[in-house]
Structure 1
Amino acid sequence: MSHSTIRSINDPEVRDTISQTSSSPRSYHPSPSAWEDQVLYFLLPDRFATGKEGTAIEPYTSAFNSNATSSPEDASSWREAGITWQGGTLQGIKSKLGYLKRMGVTAVWIGPIFKQVPHEEHSYHGYAVQNFLDIDPHFGTREDLKELVQAAHAEGLYIILDIILNHSGDVFEYRGGRKDFTGSKYEAQGFRDAHGNPTLPFAPLNPQAESDDVVNSAIWPAELQTPSTFTREGKITNWDAYPEYLRGDFETLKDIDLGDDCNPGDPSGSIDDFTPSPALETLCEVYKFWIAYADLDGYRIDTVKHMGDGPTRHLCTSLHEYASTLSKHNFFLVGEVTGPRAYAVVAATGLDAALGIGNVQAALWTTCKGVSAPDTYFSLFRNASYLKQGSDAWLRNKLVTMLDDHDQVWRGGDKARFCADATERDLAVAALALNLTTLGIPCVYYGTEQLFDGAGGSDRYIREAMFGGTFGAFRSHSHHFFNEDTSTYRQISQICALRNKYLALRRGRQYLREISANGTEFGYPTVLGGGRMRSVVAWSRILADQELLCAMNTDTEQETRAYVTVDAKLYKKGDYLKLVYDSSGGHAQAQVQILEANGKALLLAVPPAAFVIYG
């Protein structure tokens, strides 16, 4: 087990690192000028890489599909492996930076890596923290993190860490066993020891008086070892009821009291009345330490809805100000904001962006699969009231958008990656292209570039091991998936290169385009009669006098033709737009002519399931 020498935020190493009082001053990696220029990649460290791929672990081919589930016994073992540690490490991530860079990724978002409760074999996901000042030994060491960040910066990549403030792991037990939220505070029996038993006093530990394994007991840093750290009001049963969603536990994960908050569910006060708790102040110091120690570029903040606006704003102010002292003037703070308040939370708290889960991801999926009108997705980026504008304002950097993710809260208990539907798998490139060439900060979920198709009744099925392990993708084991020769990987790389080349694809205004079958009657694509829309979906990104027209065909079997509207002010009749990109491998038109229709338009023929760009 890891035995950290740091146990307090007042430890000299912590204070020296935060205050930069070392005798050898350190220079820090600067922030990017604009996060909407970046392409993020999210991975769970336990499920990504070990560094043995290509040597001890052979590559996957379709011949190994379902080699882990050939019998009921094997299938059961494979399923059970999905809820336990698989073996991915920080050194493994470091070994794959080239794979990510060649794909076009510019920022790596890494799931939580802090030390987990040692008695919990299912905390591979990293959200059950026992020591906020140490790295879980499954992943490596603090030095491994520092080396990973240094190597990433040398490759031109940024590193974003997933952090948790709302809760800790299951570090204490309630007297009488598990409790549900009732609004009452419960008595704790005691902190858990290194074996998971509540044998320790529910009070600050005395390292000299307690067992030799004290670092694996209770919670660290030591400042969190007070009863007031925890709300102690039991498990959430109603995830939208105020104040239950703010003060209840996440199942066995214990809620941390971040301070008195006045949230929208509470009409009695405002966010300006917030007072941070000692626990929140401690965690702010913890996360300052990690910024300075590892030279991090950003944080993704877990469960922001359950933190409350007051604690979130305090955290954002504290970390943004601190990062600026290290010349990280655009340190990235993105919050996981479930529910309908994403824009409001960003505006109120100082978050740089919200993670576009829920309705954003659902709309992205259903647009690509032709089961919802594209305007459902495109309208999410127009929010004039949020920006207090009198007309449409385009949100290019306030949402992180992704096709797949590791929670899929919007799907309830039915978890599935985009490619789980075999009949729609051909649309994966077009769907990823839609994500990469529309507004928002795009993020690729690990394995999507290899068309992972996990599906099932729990999160485990969308958290396959990229390196194979005992819980590999496609119901396999022992074979890795870092294949740079697949069509999907190569096309993501090519689209990212175009995104980097054309500023309009990153920062331009965005317009869903009207289409027509006859060149006379124009309208936005829509789903008719509850069926599946098989249509050209086209959108423009415009910056100054440059328009790039992007289009996809949701029909996986037939070429689809449509007259597509373009900006009438930028062209005259008879001009041509030239093909910039064609995912079909040469079946798209090399150029298309501007016509007088609906202002200005062109007749576009898009191959089945293809994505094209003209400019």
Structure 2
Amino acid sequence: MATVEEIVGQSAPRRIGEAPWPERQDYHPSPVDWRSEVIYFLLPDRFSDGRETERPLLDRTDLWAARPQGWRWDRWARSGRERYQGGTLSGVASRLEYLDDLGVTALWIGPVWKQRPVAGVEGAPAEPDDYHGYAVQDFLEVDPRLGSRADLVDLVKQAHARGIRVILDVLLNHSGETWDYDLGEEGAPRYERRPPYRESPAYAFGAWRDGRGGRLPHGASPSLPDHGVWPEELQHHDAYTRAGGDGGSFGPGGDEDPNAPYRRADWFSRDIDMPSRLQTMIQIYKYWIALADLDGLRVDTLKHVPLEHARAFCGAIREYAEQIGKSNFLIVGEVGGGDTIQEKYLKLVGQNLSAVLETGETRATLRSVAEGQTRAEDLFGRFTLPLDITHRALGSRYVSMLDDHDDLAIFPQSRFGSAESSPSRTVVGAGLLLFLLGIPCLYYGMEQGLTGPEQEERKWLPGWGVRDLAGDIYLREAMFGPDHPRVLGGHAPDPDLPGFGPFGTSGRHVFDQDNDVYQRVRMLLRARKEHPVLSAGRQYLRRLGRQDGSFTAPEPGEVVGWSRILADDEALCVINPGHASRTARLHVDAGINAGVTAFTVVANTAELGGGTKHPVGSTVPVLAAPDGARYVEIHDLPPLSVLVAVNR
């Protein structure tokens, strides 16, 4: 046992089995209910370097002023795809006040673990940097381009002091490409990076990569921190499936098959053999929970882990968290492939998996409703599945988002609002995201309305909107606006490329707390915090009044209203995704509101735009219909606005 300060003041351990365990007096407690939290997801390399005061705020009315003479879009795009931009953990810490002011209560931070070397192998061209963090070379060390283990511990400590919890992104089933295969004859190795997938027998292990991306001698074991993979427990050849995989299709295999190709094949990575190394991975993340006082884990590619191993991992982590006093430790699984597979994992992995990350059809439908393209019934119908499928009946079972760093279920693959270059539409999406069932998660930059370069410039952008590995580049702008990216594999700025700044710029940041989108999203977050009904209540889509006195479901583009009900409290949430002001009559619960004469407006984003007939604090009368129903009437709701009113 040792103090946290003693541990982070030493070199990272080489074996997890011999790692000094931290000695703490107590740990930060879990929240009572994660539905009351608002998560903010960021990639540490793309958020802040802590030096924004050295750069001007971006003038969004003159983006070309932040594009140097001779600007080339392909070079800006190359910078974003291939390079670290310079964001750090201490930079994240420097922006905690900004996040606290916005109303964020939990941070999901992309992987911080030390990444593989990226130089070329045997004369091959240099590979892009793994700035995203999903190609780990050392599971017990923080990547030095992001900071140190001490920086991580300090970030969590500072966040906790502000009441902000920290969730770290972890990899369970794969490492980076830290070794190569041997496809040669005995005594005459022929190295291959990505041989085709085969079920059996396992390919021969070839050679470990060295600290520059080259190879160690055949048969040599890693000895230096930059060699191979760490901890040492992962250096056994049998720690990997050694099934090959060329980064393309994984082939056939059902969800129930633990040996399905997509669970054994390498995909720009090296797949870890779960039966032999599951306990190693469990120990690694228990260690990080103890060392950094984490509040939750987001488990990458959980679908690629057989169900029995996913259950065992989540159960072991939850037991350890409860042992140290974190009784509601959050474990969120990324389970791509749509709602059905997400439901299966929640049911079969059981309560050990707290929630799934919404990446499928529901996200796409939510975005489409906010864009005025889809009927609201199509979205709300997804929350009324049978009661035994609890993540739709209970909002605590899934984390909902408009965007993330992949947006794999979205076509074209771009941030919400990009289609019309309308940052203001982000507010409508935020209204749906924050006030529907689920644990809401904002993707970094959403609150600043990041939508990428202006539409007329997109024709110059390679891969813009393509739904493949080229499309995600434009989801990952650097909010802090670096002048230049880092050189490949290094820390120094590369003066030959522009930094991958916001809206297709460099040298300007967008941490603008006076920005219209930021102000409106903050208003919605504060209403959610002040009224528990908005996070814990049941939800009901409300019908829209027509001129003939009838009430019918809203059509695409019309005002959408829904209620959240908690005991006798009702909150009516209203969005206008259209392009014109609308007046809307919306039902409220006749029984709960039999003696209620008015609803009180607690949020109205239109108020921040000038004038509104329903300012915050005003009341909206409850009216009686001839058939005994009760309704309220919202007048002149401006386009792209959100209003929330409560009955108490």
Match of 1:607 among 620, 628, 638: 638
Task: State the partner residue of 2:378.
Answer: 376
Q: Cα distance 1:65–1:226, how it changes in 2: closer, same or farther (>3 A)?
A: same
Does residue 224 (structure 1) correspond to residue 234 (structure 2)? The answer is yes
Alignment partners' CA distance in 2, 1:255 and 1:365: 34
Q: 1:180 to 1:544 in 2, by over 3 A?
A: same
Deviates more, 1:302-311 or 1:3-12: 3-12
3-state SS in 1 of match to 2:199: coil
Q: Which runs of 5+ in 1 are unaligned?
A: 208-213, 260-276, 527-532
**1:584 pairs with 589, 592, 606, which one?**
606
After superposition, the Cα gap between the structure-2 partners of 1:481 and 1:293, relative to the gap in structure 1 and judged at 3 Å, is same
3-state SS, counterpart of residue 409 of structure 2: helix
Structure 1 residues 349-371: Cα deviation after superposition (integer angstroms, max 9, x where no partner): 12100001121210110010111
Report the more deviating stretch, 578-587 or 138-147.
Answer: 578-587
| 1:86-125 paired onto structure 2 within 5 Å | 86-119=85-118, 121-125=128-132
Superposed displacement of residue 612, structure 1: 0.7
Q: Residues of 1 paired with 2:115 and 2:27: CA distance?
A: 29
Which amino acid is 2:170 matched to?
A: I
Q: Tell me the CA shift for residue 166 of structure 1.
A: 1.5
2:456 maps to which residue? none
Matches within 5 A, 1:56-71: 56-67=54-65
Equivalent pair of 1:574/1:594 in contact (CA under 8 Å): no
How many Å separate the matches in 1 of 2:43 and 2:56? Answer: 21
Shift of the alpha carbon at 1:476?
0.3
- Tell me which moved more, 328-337 or 493-502: 493-502
Could you list the per-position Cα deviations for residues 519-552 of structure 1 after superposition, in whole angstroms to 9, with x for gaps in the alignment?
53322223xxxxxx22110000011111110111
Shift of 1:199: 2.6
TM-score, length of structure 1 as denominator length: 0.88
Between the aligned partners of 1:160 and 1:36, the Cα distance in structure 2 is 15
**Counterpart code for 1:435:** L
Alignment of 1:299-314 (within 5 A): 299-314=297-312
Q: Structure 1 segments of 4 or more deviating over 6 A?
A: none
1:431-510 aligned at under 5 Å gives the runs: 431-454=429-452, 456-457=465-466, 458-469=471-482, 470-510=499-539
Aligned pair partner of 2:565 in 518, 542, 550 = 542
TM-score under structure 2 length normalisation: 0.84
Matched, 1:179 2:186: no
- Residues 393 and 76 (structure 1), Cα distance of their counterparts in 2 relative to 1, 3 Å cut: closer
Amino acid at match of 1:327: G
In 1, the alpha carbon distance for the partners of 2:19 and 2:372 equals 58
Per-residue Cα deviation, 1:89-118 (whole angstroms, up to 9, x for no partner): 000000000000000000011000000002
Equivalent residue letter for 2:479: M
Cα displacement string for residues 278-300 of structure 1 (whole angstroms, at most 9, x for unaligned residues)? x1110110000000000010000
CA contact (8 A) 1:45 1:113 kept: yes
Going from structure 1 to structure 2, the CA distance change for 1:217 and 1:493 (only over 3 Å counts) comes to: same
1:597/1:186 CA distance change after superposition, 3 Å = farther
Aligned equivalent of 1:169: 176
Does the 8 A contact of 2:422 with 2:451 survive in 1? Answer: no
Name the SS of the counterpart of 2:52 in structure 1.
Answer: coil
In structure 2, distance between residues paired with 1:482 and 1:155: 19
Shift in CA distance, 240/343, structure 1 to aligned 2, threshold 3 Å: farther
Deviation track 1:248-302 (CA, whole Å, cap 9, x = no partner) reads 111x21111112xxxxxxxxxxxxxxxxx2x111011000000000001000000
Q: Could you list the per-position Cα deviations for residues 9-34 of structure 1 after superposition, in whole angstroms to 9, with x for gaps in the alignment? A: 12241xx33xxxx4xx4211111111
Amino acid at match of 2:159: A
Letter in 2 for 1:513: R
Contact 2:208 2:221 in 1 (8 A): no
How much is the aligned-residue C-alpha RMSD, in angstroms?
2.1
What is the letter of the counterpart of residue 131 of structure 2?
Y
Provide the C-alpha distance between the structure 1 equivalents of 2:68 and 2:251, rounded to a whole number of angstroms. 42
**Of 164, 174, 178, which aligns to 1:157?**
164
SS in structure 2 opposite 1:376?
helix
State the secondary structure of the residue aligned to 1:327: coil
What is the letter of the counterpart of residue 9 of structure 1?
Answer: I
Q: 1:196 aligns with which of 195, 201, 213?
A: 213
The structure-2 alpha-carbon separation of the partners of 1:551 and 1:82, relative to structure 1 and needing over 3 Å to count, comes to same
Deviation at 1:377, TM superposition (A): 1.9
Structure 2 match to 1:272: none
SS in 1 for 2:304: helix
Partner of 1:341: 341
Distance 1:342 1:202, change over 3 A: farther
1:517, 1:604 → 2: CA distance?
13
Contact kept? 1:301, 1:336, Cα under 8 Å: yes
Bigger Cα displacement from structure 2, 513-522 vs 145-154: 513-522
For the 8 Å contact 1:202–1:225, the answer to whether it is kept is: no
Unaligned runs of 5+ in 2: 1-8, 119-126, 183-190, 254-259, 453-463, 483-498
How far apart, in 2, do the equivalents of 1:578 and 1:46 lie? Answer: 43
Given the superposition, is the C-alpha separation of residues 191 and 576 from structure 1 closer, same or farther in structure 2, using an over 3 Å criterion? same
Q: Secondary structure at the match of 1:59?
A: coil
The answer to which of 227-236 and 598-607 deviates more is 598-607
Identity %: 36
Q: Distance in 2 between matches of 1:160 and 1:145?
A: 12
| Paired letter, 1:169 | G
Equivalent pair of 1:162/1:300 in contact (CA under 8 Å): yes
Counterpart code for 1:192: R
Q: Which residue of the partner structure matches residue 317 of structure 2?
A: 319
Q: Helix, strand or coil for the counterpart of 2:326?
A: coil
The code of the aligned residue for 1:78 comes to: W
Q: Are the aligned partners of 1:202 and 1:227 in contact in 2 as well (CA < 8 Å)?
A: no
